[in-house]
């Protein structure tokens, strides 16, 4: 994870939440020192070490985070995940922003682990999509990796992905691949979205690096995979969920991309509690 980007993201989130000041915490506390504990209220997979460390240190550079778990580790309900000791007012100001992010990241990591477990024992890998929350893509894609899944492209800038509308404007798959290859050179991969055997064959002949089977049934994918040489990566996408993933695991496709890993997750239930009976005055 890019720590510089993380710091800038968190700074913007704190500015949004705190504004000029936290009128409650600043009224109640000055130099008191306290300890805040994150407690899991349901089982899951952890993601968010750097968010916790960086988030609390931004508001109190002397804050100390003692983590009892690492990114990618499973945890059970009732697990104490981290103790953060620092200025009481700063802990309370940072709490909601950090907790919101950690809850979302843990949920994504947990869903990703479920998906990975479903395809375990096959050569097929699970990856995410660009269906992420604006401003949170770096964190959400990191959480996917914590769950053991892979990342698809990060944005429009790192992979050519020729979809149906690109093909329509260009006139054909072959023409679209030709134009893209001439513009970007050989160092950037070209993926083509296909919906039929004819389109798959055209993409193969055009020299695509990755061929996606878009919104195809498991039975169709088993047939389409046979048309693709081994050196070309294959991917299945479109409407596949954790409930239906099991039907795609043995199709022979290289990757299955799941938008549901990031676009519709429910925040994992984690609470932040003060674990000491009295505050220490610094």
Which pTM was predicted?
0.94
* 213-226 confidence digits (pLDDT tens): 999 999 999 999 99
Q: What is the mean pLDDT of residues 100-118?
A: 98
Give me the pLDDT at residue 1, please: 86
Q: Which residues contact 3 (CB under 8 A, 6 or more apart)?
A: 50, 54
Q: What is the DSSP letter of 246?
A: G
* Domains, the chain: 3-115+266-281 (3.90.1170.20), 117-263 (3.20.20.70)
Per-residue pLDDT at 248: 98
**pLDDT at site 277:** 42
Res. 282 pLDDT band, cuts 50 70 90:
low
Positions marked catalytic: 96, 131, 163, 193, 214
Q: Average the pLDDT over 190-210 and give the result.
A: 97
pLDDT at 276: 53
Mean pLDDT of the 199-220 span:
97
Nearest to 154 by CA among 167, 136, 166: 136
Average pLDDT over residues 159-185: 95
Q: In the structure, what pLDDT confidence band is assigned to residue 194 with cuts at 50, 70 and 90?
A: very high
Q: What percent of the chain has pLDDT over 90?
A: 95
pLDDT in tens, 233-281: 999 999 999 999 999 999 999 999 999 999 999 999 999 998 654 456 5
Instruction: Look at residues 223, 209, 219, 254 and name the one whose alpha carbon lies nearest to residue 236.
Output: 254
User: Which pairs with CB-CB distance under 8 Å and at least 24 residues apart come from 185-193?
Assistant: 188/158, 188/159, 188/160, 189/159, 189/160, 190/159, 190/160, 190/162, 191/159, 191/160, 191/161, 191/162, 191/235, 192/162, 193/161, 193/162, 193/163, 193/164, 193/167
> For residue range 28-56, what is the model confidence (pLDDT) as tens digits?
998 899 999 999 999 999 999 999 999 99
Span 151-166, mean pLDDT?
95
Is residue 124 predicted with pLDDT exceeding 70? yes
Q: What share of the chain is helix, strand, coil (3-state, %, to 5)?
A: 40, 20, 40
- The answer on pLDDT for 95 being more than 60 is yes
């Amino acid at each position: 994870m890019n720590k510089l980007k993380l710091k800038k993201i968190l700074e913007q989130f704190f500015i949004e939440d705190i504004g000029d000041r936290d009128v409650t915490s600043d009224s109640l506390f000055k130099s008191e020192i306290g300890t805040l504990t994150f407690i899991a209220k349901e089982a899951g997979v952890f993601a968010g070490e750097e968010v916790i460390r960086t988030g609390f240190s931004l508001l109190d550079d002397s804050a100390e985070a003692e983590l009892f778990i690492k990114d990618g580790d499973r945890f059970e309900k009732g697990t104490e995940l981290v103790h953060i000791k620092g200025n009481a007012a700063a802990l309370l100001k940072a709490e909601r922003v950090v907790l919101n992010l950690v809850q979302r990241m843990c949920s994504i990591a947990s869903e990703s682990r479920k998906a990975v477990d479903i395809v375990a024992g096959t050569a097929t890998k699970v990856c995410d999509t660009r269906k992420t929350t604006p401003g949170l893509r770096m964190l959400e894609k990191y959480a996917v990796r914590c769950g053991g899944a892979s990342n698809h492209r990060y944005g429009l800038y790192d992979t050519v992905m020729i979809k149906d509308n690109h093909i329509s404007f260009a006139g054909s798959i072959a023409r679209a691949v030709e134009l893209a290859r001439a513009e970007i050179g050989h160092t950037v991969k070209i993926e083509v979205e296909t919906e039929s055997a004819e389109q798959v064959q055209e993409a193969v002949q055009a020299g695509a690096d990755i061929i996606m089977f878009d919104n195809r049934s498991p039975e169709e994918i088993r047939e389409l995979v046979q048309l693709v040489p081994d050196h070309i990566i294959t991917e299945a996408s479109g409407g596949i969920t954790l409930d239906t993933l099991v039907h795609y695991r043995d199709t022979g496709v290289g990757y299955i991309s799941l938008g549901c890993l990031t676009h519709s997750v429910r925040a994992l239930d984690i609470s932040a509690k003060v674990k000491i009976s009295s505050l220490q005055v610094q």
